[in-house]
Homo-oligomer: A and B are copies of this chain.
Amino acid sequence: MKVIKFGGSSLASANQLEKVLNIVKSDPDRRFVVVSAPGKRSADDTKVTDALIKYYRDYVAGNDVTKRQDWIINRYAAMVEELGLRPAILEKISKSIKKLATLPIEENDFLYDTFLAAGENNNAKLIAAYFSQNGVEARYVHPREAGIVVTSEPGNARILPSSYDKIEELADGDEVLVIPGFFGVTKDDQICTFSRGGSDVTGSIIAAGVKADLYENFTDVNGIFAAHPGVIHKPHSIPELTYREMRELAYAGFSVLHDEALIPAYRGKIPLVIKNTNNPDHPGTKIILKHTTHAFPVVGIAADSGFVSINMSKYLMNREVGFGRKLLEVLEELNISWEHMPTGIDDLSIVLRQRELTPIKEQEILRQLTQKLEVDTADIEHDLSIIMIVGENMKSHVGVTATAAKALSDNNINIQMLSQGSSEVSIMFVIKSEQEKEALKALYAAFFEKKEN
């Protein structure tokens, strides 16, 4: 049993929907189809979701909304026509879109969510109809019916753990169920959307709920690249990734799936695969709990800029009980989140994102370090980048650090900081941002290009 989710670009046109149909048809295990709202057909197109936002704004502002409604309905109508669907489905969609402009504006915390969710919701109806008309026994299922009951937090819904029992019942039956992504319903039957990760969250929830064998997430790329394609020419896509590796890569700038969207699947131990709707034969990137092979010590290399380090030293710091805690309290009082805390004996650095600081906060930190923590020296270094070399199998490969450090050293890139944790899912290098691209190239060459020769 598989849960399959399609993103907006996979559902933007009749041409794309045909691919989707073939993908679903080609494997009878694909029983749950989670869909996004129609995406852009071309670079200058408008996403249905963005059109709904404009519709919402005009409605609450009391403006005429006819044009907004027409644009959205026409968007679906074009697909209905191209796909040769029966007119009844367009009727339903049209009604649903128009009905939005009759909902109460005052004291309606869920109005914005309800507008937004209409993109996914009507697309699911259309796709179920398309499937049914083309030899797939399919049925549209509203999240209410699916049992996706969420917290009453508009724009930031979280699944209630009690939902999973009802969702599990979806596993009974033979039909293909088409479920709109991006939203659930509250206990008071209000539409409430997820924050980040949108439809990916729904797919993840359904996969965990029905205890799927696989959660297939179809996008428009051949899985996740081992390094940023903007820096590395044609990087190879990663065949297999663990959830933990995914997290480390996401941290340093990879952004195919939002990692919070993966929590239900992760907790449910459901393997996930990221595939390409336009190239479904490509194996894509599988995200699993444990590696099945030990072939690749390093799965990917990510880099992210915008880091800062606060460095301090104090003679006999190491003997001072509570120094670290006091330091973290200073940061917490200033509402500053930190990322890493590499320590020497009498030296300590805090690595954090530049956005956490302002010139005034920086002054205040230095003042408190000197006055409250009585450090001997303190400074703040800007424009740093973090490079993460990620791979759970590194721990069984002595020498990854040596290879990485040598690659950087050979290219005259100075390592500002280096941290290799006991988990060894990743090795983290901090370097000057001006050397980030160069470093990424050197490391990619050291770990991937040699192998391909």
A residues with CB within 8 A of B? 243-244, 247-248, 251, 259-260, 263, 266, 309, 311, 313, 315-316, 318, 321-322, 324-325, 328-329, 332, 337-349, 381, 388, 395, 398-399, 401-402, 405-406, 408-409, 412-423, 425-428, 430
Contacts and interface: CB of A to CB of B under 8 A. Distances in A.
B421 A342 contact: yes
Nearest to A428: B344
Given A328-B328, A401-B405, A406-B406, A341 B341 contact: yes
Contacts of A337: 321
A346 B244 contact: yes
A441 B231 CA distance: 40
B409 A402 contact: yes
A345 B251 CA distance: 7
Nearest to A379: B422
B401 A266 contact: no
Contacts of A251: 318, 345
A212 to B, nearest CB: 19
Nearest to A407: B402
A420 B244 contact: no
Contact of A349 (B401, B417, B421, B427): B421
Contacts of A342: 342, 419-422
A450 to B, nearest CB: 16
Q: 3 closest A-B pairs (Cβ-Cβ)?
A: A347-B423, A402-B405, A399-B409
Contacts of A418: 401, 418-420, 427
Given A349-B423, A399-B409, A401-B418, 5 more contacts: A322-B332, A349-B422, A381-B422, A401-B401, A417-B420
A415 B401 contact: yes
Contacts of A430: 422
A343 B408 contact: no
Nearest to A313: B423
Nearest to A421: B344
26 contacts: A244-B346, A247-B316, A248-B346, A259-B316, A260-B316, A263-B315, A263-B316, A309-B422, A311-B423, A325-B329, A325-B332, A339-B343, A341-B341, A341-B343, A342-B421, A342-B422, A343-B421, A344-B423, A344-B426, A344-B428, A347-B423, A398-B409, A402-B405, A402-B409, A415-B420, A417-B422
Given A332-B325, A413-B398, A426-B345, A247 B421 contact: no
Given A244-B313, A398-B409, A419 B338 contact: no
A421 B417 contact: yes
Contact of A345 (B247, B409, B414, B420): B247
A348 B421 contact: yes
A415 B421 CA distance: 10
A342 to B, nearest CB: 5
A349 to B, nearest CB: 4
B420 A398 contact: no
